[in-house]
Chain A
Amino acid sequence: MTSILLAIVIGAAFGAVLDRIGATNPNWIGGMLTLRRLHLMKTILLAIGTGSILMFGGQMLGLVDVGHMSVKAAYIGVFIGGLLLGAGWAASGYCPGTGVCAAASGRKDALFFIAGGLFGAAAYMATYPAWKASGLLDDLAGGKVTLGSVPGASYDGLMALSGDLLGIAIGAVFVLVAFVLPDSLVGGGRRTAEIPAE
């Protein structure tokens, strides 16, 4: 029962935050993916960095249970699937979580996204044996691995480095990039207005 209560509290907080940062809004996703408005990218980078530093810091201090980590396997299909997801994400402006949140916030097009998603997931269920047979789902570089070796974790490290310290360092890099990334990388953003005409 406790786990259901936690699902309700953490799930609701996640949905509310996704709504408030603009992640459920295709205009903000489009701005980020066309590199015209990087506000959302800065938000996401800061979030990953914050989560990483807190998690690895907490694990080093013994406050966070290392057993809660859940690392997914690496294989060629991860990259191919990433390409597919990226194309659909850009076209629709939604990913699985934000699409569900957008529909809940009243966006009609997001209902079509969810319907398409249910068919897409079913299509994968039907074609899974072919992918499995192709070898593209076979583990790459050890499969379920982290970049460094995390003490007490059930996952191997790609490098012998301390996974905790490396995690904090990479987290800090994410935070730093969030701060130095400009508001826009291409024309049309606010930055261009600041460049004096020659």
Chain B
Amino acid sequence: MVLNWKTGGLLLGLVFFAAVLLVKPIGVSTQFVILDGIVADAVSPDFISRTEDGYTSTNAYIAKSDGKYAKSAANPLNYSFIFVLAMAAGAFLSARLRGGIDAEERAAPAIWRANYGDTPMMRYAVAFLGGFIVLYGARLAGGCTSGHMMSGMMQTALSGYIFAAGAFAAAIPTAMLMYKRG
């Protein structure tokens, strides 16, 4: 089902290379902020506003770096936002073509059931909290697994190594404590 690591690694490396060859390095987590910005601006229209030479926001984070996030949220049809939507579509098609995921696995992954039994609600709560911490951490760090760890280390960026050291230092003990089986 899963590709041999040599084939998979080569393909993934080629995608990261194609991105930097044709456009720029891959990154995802910023788009969670952009979607938040789009929603906030829809709910309260003065969240993002035009200035003489660009965009700004009532939120200091969205307004930072001369309003680049404000600009993206005001114009969702931009490369990085469409990239994430296309990524979801690519994963959807790929999963469909290999026959999809069975109902039990869709509700909660096998490793969860091996450790905590048939407790989908608890799994959803952990997934929600996990998502909260992941995105809070990614925005604090300025990038996530794709932007910092993969794209960053690929470019020999100092920040990529610092990020990877922090991520694995927390991830390995957490995984070992939470998932003793499976």
Asked whether B54 is an interface residue with its Cβ less than 8 Å from the other chain, the reply is no
Asked whether B88 is an interface residue with its Cβ less than 8 Å from the other chain, the reply is yes
The main secondary structure of chain A at its interface with chain B is helix
What is the bound-complex CA distance between A68 and B145, given in angstroms?
19
Check B157 against A146 for contact (C-beta < 8 Å): yes
Check A34 against B127 for contact (C-beta < 8 Å): no
Check A73 against B131 for contact (C-beta < 8 Å): no
| Residue tally, chain A, CB below 8 Å to B | 126
Asked whether B93 is an interface residue with its Cβ less than 8 Å from the other chain, the reply is yes
Within 8 A of A (CB), among B5-26: 5-6, 8-26
Check A96 against B154 for contact (C-beta < 8 Å): no
Check B95 against A35 for contact (C-beta < 8 Å): no
Within 8 A of B (CB), among A160-174: 163, 166-167, 170-171, 174
Asked whether A180 is an interface residue with its Cβ less than 8 Å from the other chain, the reply is no
Asked whether A182 is an interface residue with its Cβ less than 8 Å from the other chain, the reply is no
How far, in Å, is A179 (CB) from chain B's closest CB? 9
Residue of B nearest to A4 (CB): B82
Check B9 against A44 for contact (C-beta < 8 Å): yes
Give the top 9 A-B pairs by smallest Cβ distance, nearest first.
A82-B166, A50-B13, A92-B130, A46-B9, A81-B141, A84-B137, A116-B131, A11-B86, A15-B90
Q: A8-B86, A50-B10, A119-B132 are in contact. List 19 more A-B contacts (CB 8 A).
A: A14-B90, A30-B175, A35-B172, A46-B5, A82-B162, A86-B170, A88-B133, A90-B170, A91-B133, A92-B126, A101-B87, A101-B88, A108-B107, A113-B130, A120-B139, A125-B62, A145-B157, A146-B155, A167-B156
